[in-house]
Amino acid sequence: QVQLEESGGGLVQAGGSLRLSCAASGRTFSFYNMGWFLQAPGKEREFVAAVSKSGGSTRYADSVKGRFTISRDNAKNTVYLQMNSLKPEGTFVYYCAAGIYAMAVLSTQYQYWGQGTQVTVSP
């Protein structure tokens, strides 16, 4: 089992940047493929980005391509989501997830989840 804890959320103006972090503990971090999802109030979680076990492969939702970057540091047991040019879309909770499937885009394909970190982008 692996435990995940997100950090780095907050309030930012449109056009600004934030970097989210997700620290893992428990089983070997490098064993898992990692992903980031976002969830708006009352809606289902949506795929944002995924990174392979080694960090060599990444995948993004079309809505964030060119603006967000996912990366991982296996020595630090941490995955990151660099978010640039944020759009004024309101408040979301961002979750990191760990799973055995590479480049998975469905939330059901991930086995472990963090508690989430809230991001609010103001106009």
What average pLDDT does the segment 77-101 reach?
A: 96
Question: In the 3-class helix/strand/coil scheme, how is the chain assigned residue by residue?
Answer: CEEEEEECCEEEECCCCEEEEEEEEECCHHHCEEEEEEECCCCCCEEEEEECCCCCCEEECCCCCCCEEEEEECCCCEEEEEECCCCCCEEEEEEEEEECCCCCCCHHHCCEECCCEEEEEEC
| 28 against 111, higher pLDDT | 111
Look at residue 50 and tell me whether its pLDDT is greater than 90: yes
pLDDT digits (tens, 9 = 90+) for 104-119: 999 999 999 999 999 9
pLDDT digits (tens, 9 = 90+) for 54-71: 999 999 999 999 999 999
